[in-house]
Structure 1
Amino acid sequence: MIHASRILLSLMLLLNPECGLVAFGQVQEYVAKNAVPVRSIDMHDTGYADLAPLAGAIGNKRIVMLGELYHGDATAFRAKARLIRFLHEKMGFNVLAYEADFFALNHGWDAYKAGKISIDSLIYLSIYPIWTQCNEWQPVQQYARDCAGGRELKLTGFDNRGYSGYGLKHLAAAIRSYLDSSQIPFTKSTAYGDYLKYLRAAPRITGGAQRGKMDSLIHYTALILKQLPDSARNSFYGKLMESQLAFYKMDIYYKFDSIYSKTGKDYPLHDLQMAENLKWLAATKYAGEKIIVWAHNMHIEKGNAAATHHNQYNSMGYYFTQDTALNAQAYILGFTSYAGEGKLQLTRPGEKVTKPPRKSIENWLHQRGHPFSFLDFSRLENEAPFSMKTYINTEFEAPWNKYYDGIFFIDEMAPCTGLQ
């Protein structure tokens, strides 16, 4: 199937044969002049002179988003580990926000600080196994452990999907405790008991065929949100109830909606809610603090999906940066690779990275001969599409400098190896 953005570019070339050549030539020249080698992705390499260009590009921004092509990209994990240490030790970033359980990594962090859970247990029970069960990710956990009790790296999360091990154990009880103290009218009604029953059963009825119970959960959760005062809506539990409502709606969509069964089109509410959670973290819980965001490329990109049709829906990064104040404080770093092998999940076999086109960011960076490179897009005045990978093995043409502030290039990716 020919992608819409490719059709658009072909039409542009038919109308003006020089158009595409000028755009590609401009980007290729920019890469040649501005890409800088990164010497190492070893977390223990603290000679940070090679990261000075990245520090200069970030400047005084306080939110840095780090992407990845695959959730099983071991080389990117190693690179991100070094970047996290650099950002923490040299640039004052003190919060690490994961594309992982919003409830667990916020409620759980408070429990850790109160001495109720170890940091290792919190990480194991709250962050998804695609990272925690990967050998090459382990230096990140070790670094968080080493920082505990000193100049700590705070852990948090913003994903509203599913249930982590921590959530399975604590979510229902935490929500009930909060609602019991809220004094909203719903808690005095007979329906409150039904809601609590469905809430406890939610891990079993989500993803199943119990449509009636899911509809009731959606109805009751929406009613709770309507009755919460504005001050509570902007609290952790207000955002948690919003996240639960979005999750229940997602479950209904994927299991019962004919649009998904016919088209396979993903549900945009997921990224929208992640953006709302991340906004709350940046503007309320960690206001004024410096935050590192760990997520997939497709979640952090800030361009409008409809402009290029390379994605099915707008991303978390798009919704997050619609807030002009937060956009001014954010630096979004995508990751891409020329060759190698990655994994979608640890349990799946590796997938060979497809060779990129001759006129692509990956090929131009590969020709420079460096295993790792950083390219800042801030001085690239380009509106025309050019070719780059941002999702697994999919190469698309888009004005990627409008979607990412910079790119970390890995010449050869390696897949994660699972813990024994």
Structure 2
Amino acid sequence: MKTKSWLLLFFAIGLVSWLCYRFFIVDFLYPYDKNFKDFVLTNTRPIENIDPKSSNYEGYEEIAAAIGDSKVVFLGEQDHGDAPTFLAKTKIIKYLHEKMGFDVLVFESNFLGLNRALANHDDLSFSSDPEYKKFISPIWTNCTECSELFSYVDSSQLTERPIFVSGMDSRLFYSNEGKFPIAQLIEILDSATIFDDSSEKENITKSLEVLIRDEYEASLSTAKIDSLYNFFDKAEKRLKPKSFLAQSLRSLRGFTLNALDTAESNNARDIQMSDNFLWLKNEVFSDKKIIVWASSSHLFKGYRDLPYHIGRDNDSINTGTLIADRISDELYVLGFTSNRGKAGRLYNPKYELVKPVKNSFEAFVEETGAEYAFTNFKDYELQSSKKSTFWMNGIAHSPNKFDWTEMFDGIFYIEEMYPCSDVLNIDKFALD
């Protein structure tokens, strides 16, 4: 009897401790805004599926209604290997193209490569490069879960409303043999009498080839670096300011600044991506609706208002903030988050996700029981005049406490994350 009493006592103490933790300590450690939680529980809409081949779009009309008359839609991703996110983004792209008139898809990829055909057009008439995929990183082109995206884009080229594939990144990714062929641009610049003489042409070409080959490990003398920047300044003055060649040189300057950045920040790259995108929007696709495919870390708004930096320690701005400064009324930024699972890019180690903290956005959505869901943060802004900071794993699968409603206009929730599978079956880090 005595032993039984002790067991009952221990059980009672354990139960009381758990109840205190669950209903008092957790809320003390992770306080939350009850009004915001109520908003999430009431306004989160379930999404039926993320299969881009499925004709069932139940729930996607909610996303379309939230986007409304926006002419630019940003589709983020927590990391560059998030397979379910890529499936969902593909399905959204198909919906936006077929039902809402979005005809342009701009990747976080090689601006010079994906837009090089513009070099021969004074009127900047655009046509997608038939070999566009070689200017896009294999983290996407080799991801099995992106296959339907590229099949859809390719098939659209045979229709009356093709999807135009472009890029905004100053980095010169190239998946074909060798490095990015800068020689083509050099010859076009030469024919436009940009170089003072053959010696300058040779020196500039060699410096760019070193940067393209070695990028962040590139070693150039101070004299060669100065010559590059002086050339960029001079060449821009000799070209029409809104021409593709002038923008190419601005992008090359951004590429150079990023590669040689001793502070190791993303600032130069993000600034140039925003400049490249705004040029594309204003000069090339002014009459079209645009979708942007990139990392959420580049696309969210309001970087200046963050209580602390995310990403690299020396970052102080990002692409989405700079673009929103200019076109906030035309823009809808859709982020993604997930509750559990694994992640990791192709050809890189995979990792277990950090479990969302108690009273996080993910925990609130989990209460709805939805496997996939959409929450329109713009509705919260309409319903509440009060800002609300809350925990969410919206960037790089890491929990942060921000006013996320100021950073994203809406969030697509995925219950379980898993990494891309490799179409080539050569990823040595692939999960069993």
Q: CA deviation at 1:220?
A: 2.5
Structure 2 distance, partners of 1:408, 1:218, is 46
Query: CA separation of 1:117/1:105 partners in 2, compared to 1, >3 Å: closer, same or farther?
Result: closer
TM-score scaled by structure 2? 0.82
Q: CA deviation at 1:348?
A: 2.1
Structure 2 distance, partners of 1:239, 1:47, is 42
Partner of 1:180: 190
Query: CA separation of 1:359/1:129 partners in 2, compared to 1, >3 Å: closer, same or farther?
Result: same
Structure 2 distance, partners of 1:275, 1:301, is 12
1:327 matches 2:328: yes
198-207 vs 164-173, greater mean Cα deviation: 164-173
233-242 vs 170-179, greater mean Cα deviation: 170-179
1:159 matches 2:169: yes
Unaligned ranges ≥5, structure 1: 1-16, 261-265
Structure 2 distance, partners of 1:285, 1:61, is 18
1:60 matches 2:69: yes
* 2:117 and 2:129 in contact (8 A); partners too: no
* 1:388 and 1:397 in contact (8 A); partners too: yes
* 2:296 and 2:335 in contact (8 A); partners too: yes
* 1:222 and 1:245 in contact (8 A); partners too: no
Query: CA separation of 1:409/1:182 partners in 2, compared to 1, >3 Å: closer, same or farther?
Result: same
1:133 matches 2:137: no
1:411 matches 2:410: no
Structure 2 distance, partners of 1:109, 1:416, is 33
Structure 1 distance, partners of 2:153, 2:325, is 31
Residue identity in the other structure for 1:273: Q
Could you give the per-residue CA deviations for residues 311-362 of structure 1, whole angstroms, max 9, x where no partner exists? 2332110011111xx211110000000111111x211232111211121111
Q: Which of 399, 403, 407 is the equivalent residue of 1:395?
A: 399
* 1:221 and 1:241 in contact (8 A); partners too: no
Q: CA deviation at 1:193?
A: 2.9
Query: CA separation of 1:35/1:176 partners in 2, compared to 1, >3 Å: closer, same or farther?
Result: same
Structure 2 distance, partners of 1:62, 1:310, is 29
Query: CA separation of 1:110/1:252 partners in 2, compared to 1, >3 Å: closer, same or farther?
Result: closer
Partner of 1:86: 95
Structure 1 distance, partners of 2:207, 2:294, is 31
* 1:96 and 1:291 in contact (8 A); partners too: yes
Once the two structures are superposed, the pairs formed by residues 229-248 of structure 1 within 5 Å of their partners are 229=237, 232-248=240-256
TM-score scaled by structure 1? 0.84
Structure 1 distance, partners of 2:228, 2:129, is 34
Query: CA separation of 1:136/1:159 partners in 2, compared to 1, >3 Å: closer, same or farther?
Result: same
Query: CA separation of 1:200/1:62 partners in 2, compared to 1, >3 Å: closer, same or farther?
Result: same
Partner of 1:369: 369
Residue identity in the other structure for 2:349: P
Structure 1 distance, partners of 2:365, 2:46, is 10
Structure 1 distance, partners of 2:397, 2:172, is 26
What secondary structure, in the 3-state scheme, does the structure 2 residue paired with 1:75 have? Answer: helix
Structure 2 distance, partners of 1:71, 1:289, is 27
Matched-pair identity in %: 28
1:101 matches 2:110: yes
Query: CA separation of 1:292/1:399 partners in 2, compared to 1, >3 Å: closer, same or farther?
Result: same
Residue identity in the other structure for 1:303: G
Query: CA separation of 1:167/1:292 partners in 2, compared to 1, >3 Å: closer, same or farther?
Result: farther
Residue identity in the other structure for 2:52: M
What secondary structure, in the 3-state scheme, does the structure 2 residue paired with 1:228 have? Answer: helix
* 1:180 and 1:187 in contact (8 A); partners too: no
What secondary structure, in the 3-state scheme, does the structure 1 residue paired with 2:362 have? Answer: helix
Query: CA separation of 1:108/1:79 partners in 2, compared to 1, >3 Å: closer, same or farther?
Result: farther
Structure 2 distance, partners of 1:97, 1:209, is 28
Once the two structures are superposed, the pairs formed by residues 290-301 of structure 1 within 5 Å of their partners are 290-301=289-300
Q: CA deviation at 1:391?
A: 1.9
* 1:199 and 1:217 in contact (8 A); partners too: no
Number of equivalences: 384
Q: CA deviation at 1:199?
A: 2.9
Unaligned ranges ≥5, structure 2: 1-26, 426-432
* 1:338 and 1:410 in contact (8 A); partners too: yes
Could you give the per-residue CA deviations for residues 76-109 of structure 1, whole angstroms, max 9, x where no partner exists? 0111110010000011100111001111111168
Query: CA separation of 1:222/1:82 partners in 2, compared to 1, >3 Å: closer, same or farther?
Result: farther
Q: Which has the larger radius of gyration?
A: 2
Partner of 1:317: 320
158-167 vs 266-275, greater mean Cα deviation: 158-167
Q: CA deviation at 1:305?
A: 3.9
Structure 2 distance, partners of 1:131, 1:417, is 10
Q: Which of 184, 192, 200 is the equivalent residue of 1:191?
A: 200
What secondary structure, in the 3-state scheme, does the structure 2 residue paired with 1:354 have? Answer: coil
Q: CA deviation at 1:228?
A: 2.5
Query: CA separation of 1:310/1:360 partners in 2, compared to 1, >3 Å: closer, same or farther?
Result: farther
